[in-house]
Amino acid sequence: MTPQNWFQFVLDWVGLPSLALLAVILIYRRWYREFPFFFLYVVSAGLIGIARLFFLEEAPTRIYSRVYWVSDTALAAFAFLAAYELFFKRLFSGFNKTRFYRFLFPAAAILVTSMIVGGSLIGGHLSALALTPGFLFSCKPRS
């Protein structure tokens, strides 16, 4: 690798130590109790980043691509939970007492996600999530 490529590699992966530092701060100040879903998102993002870094060097491009998209789907789910927590605990803290508002955000998110997935399947664009698990577990390790 050239020095420019090394610099780009380090710049791309500097987020991992930042996530670890954020997790330590959340634990030290005991904010993980107040924001459990955000803490879960930070920890899972760090673990997913480590897994991606491992598969970047150890796996063929085809497998890394599948690992990336499956982990990105999981990361999106954790980000959804963190956003859900933000909406209820900070932005709209009084609305959770009204049943309609309590179910409005999850219902809207599920509706939009279902419409996007349905539209992509009808349009002939198969989801990486639907294809990936079978291929990941059937791949043979490199010899």
Question: Could you report the per-residue pLDDT of 12-64, keeping only the tens digit for each?
Answer: 778 888 999 999 999 999 998 988 999 999 999 999 988 888 888 777 888 88
Confirm whether 143 is domain-assigned. no
Confirm whether 76 is domain-assigned. yes
Confirm whether 124 is domain-assigned. yes
pTM of the predicted structure, to 2 decimals: 0.64
Residue 132's identity, in one-letter code, is T
Confirm whether 20 is domain-assigned. yes
Number of domains in the chain: 1
Shortest CA distance to 67 belongs to which of 131, 142, 143?
131
CB-based burial label for 99 (10 Å; 0-12, 13-18, 19+): exposed
**SS3 state of residue 18:** helix
- Tens-digit pLDDT profile for residues 103-116: 887 788 888 878 87
Q: Which residues of 100-134 are buried (b: 16+ CB within 10 A; e: fewer)?
A: eeeeebeeeeeeeeeeeeeeeeeeeeeeeeeebee
Confirm whether 99 is domain-assigned. yes
Q: In which domain, by residue range, is 101 found?
A: 3-138
